[in-house]
Structure 1
Amino acid sequence: MTTRYKTVRPFLALLGESKALAASTGGARVLAGVKRLPALARRVKDKPLLPREVDEKLVPAAWRKAVYANAGLPQGSVDRDAYVVCATQSPMPR
């Protein structure tokens, strides 16, 4: 997960400007989530996120354990790195 996060992080600002995500009405939620990623990625000291800081609808079932159940983080927190990678790979919500 850390390897993928380090690969994705430099491109987060550009991804938020992508016209492709705005191409459909279904992409609006993904685009909004992706636009928040650069600010979340800058939070180095506050690496665990709170659930209210993320859009849970961008986290598919296959990602839930990685995003919400990292044993190395306090219970109830969100793994920032996992969420960032998950949100960049998120399918359009239905």
Structure 2
Amino acid sequence: MTVHGPVMPIWRCGGCDLPWPCPTRRRELRAEYADAPVSLALYLGAYLIQAAEDMPWAPAGALHRRFIGWTRQPPDTQQRGTATMPTETEHRQTG
């Protein structure tokens, strides 16, 4: 069992105190669900819903990228940090 689980309701990693899912947990989840990407997305989608309830101030797009968006990227192109604010381009597209 991993020590990199979510600390709720702040959604920080219990192992490294980074925003959850942290890079370590992402690698673990990728390995665990290597043959089941849809199951991984469903699993993380459930956490996304909980996080959205705990953090109503967080932009939906940022939460989506943090919890689900990284799953479609090859492991070597993942970003280390997790955005919490939309970029200027995203803001223009939605605003």
| TM-score, normalised via structure 1 length | 0.32
Structure with higher Rg: it is 2
Q: Which has the bigger relative contact order, CA under 8 A and spacing at least 6?
A: 1
| TM-score, normalised via structure 2 length | 0.32
Give 1 or 2: higher helix fraction: 1
